[in-house]
Structure 1
Amino acid sequence: MNYRKLGKTGFTVSEISLGTWQVGGKWGDPFSHDNADRILNEAVDSGINFIDTADVYGDGESEKAVGRLVRSRSEQIFVATKCGRRLQPHTNEAYQPKALRNFVEDSLRNMGLETLDLIQLHCPPTDVYYRPEIFELFDRLKDEGKIQNLGVSVEKVEEGLKAIEFPNVTTVQIIFNMFRQRPAELFFTEASRRDVGIIVRVPLASGLLTGTFSADTSFSATDHRTFNRQGEAFDKGETFSGVDYATGLAAVDELKAVFPADANLAPDALRWILTFDAVSCIIPGASKPAHLSSNLQAMERPAPTPEQMVAIKHIYDERIKNPVHYLW
Structure 2
Amino acid sequence: MGRRSCVKAAALCAVGVLAASGCAGGGQDDEGGGGDRLSVATGAYPLQWLTEQVGGDRVEVQNLADPGTDPHELELSPRQIGTVSSADIAFYIGGLQPAVDDAVADQGGGNGLDVAELVELRTLEENAESGGHEHGGDGEGHEDGHGGEGDSHDDDHGSGGDEAANESGDAHDHGHDAGEPDPHMWLDTERFARAAEGLADRLGEVDPEHASDYADNAETVTGLLDEIDTEYSTGLAECESRDIVVSHSAFGYLAARYDLHQISPAGLDSHSEPSPGRLAEIAETVREEDITTVFTEPLSDSGAAETIAEEAGAETAVLDPIEGVADASAGDDYPSLMRANLDTLSEALRCS
Q: Greater CA radius of gyration, 1 or 2?
A: 2
TM-score by length of 1: 0.29
TM-score by length of 2: 0.28
